[in-house]
Amino acid sequence: MKRAGIKEQKLNAIYSAFTDLVNEIGYEKLTTRLVAKKAGVSIGTVYYYFPDGKASIAAGLYEKNLSAQLENMQLDLRTQISRSLSLHKEHKELYRAFDQAIYARKDIFLGLKNRRDSGMKDEISGEGISLDVVLLMNGTVDALIHRHLFIEPMFETEWELVEYLTAIATASYNYLK
């Protein structure tokens, strides 16, 4: 197997182990050593690819998922919000881990934020929408999804939440444009 294939295989094993462990024991109890053991690689291999341990793994996995977020921007607003809610609900513990990693190591995630912003800017260019408005809407939608899923449900049905978030995002856009 070529070196690039081996690297990809190791990275996927590490991401898979990280995700499994987050779901099993949570981000707080997860250690880089546990990830290495579950992935079947040495601790040195994990640190070779992820110098800052579990926060780096979370950042790498977060970055891997950024392309899906940018692809969602091609969809209508209601569908974007609905997909975001579905992803958060399906991978609840992983999104919770992303939040914890971001709070613990904002420095690692800053570069990802800049790449995300650049990707979003490219996606919306020519549509007459400012990046600041898109970021504000996305941040608001994300925060309310997290509140609904992680803290306390705000609505009885997901449909009600999606409709509310769509209305907020639309009103924000209209107000801020």
94-104 per-position pLDDT tens digit: 999 999 998 88
Return the closest-CA partner of residue 25 out of 35, 15, 10: 35
DSSP string, 53-74: THHHHHHHHHHHHHHHHHHHTT
Q: Global pTM? A: 0.80
Residue range 41-53, pLDDT digits in tens: 999 999 999 999 9
CA end-to-end distance (rounded Å), the chain: 52
pLDDT in tens, 27-39: 999 999 999 999 9
What is the CA angle 165-87-137, rounded to 5? 30
118-138 tens-digit pLDDT: 877 777 766 677 778 778 888
Range 83-102 average pLDDT: 91
Alpha-carbon distances, residue 36 vs 20, 22, 159 (angstroms): 12, 14, 40
What local confidence, expressed as pLDDT, does residue 65 receive?
79
Contact by Cβ (8 Å): 172, 140: yes
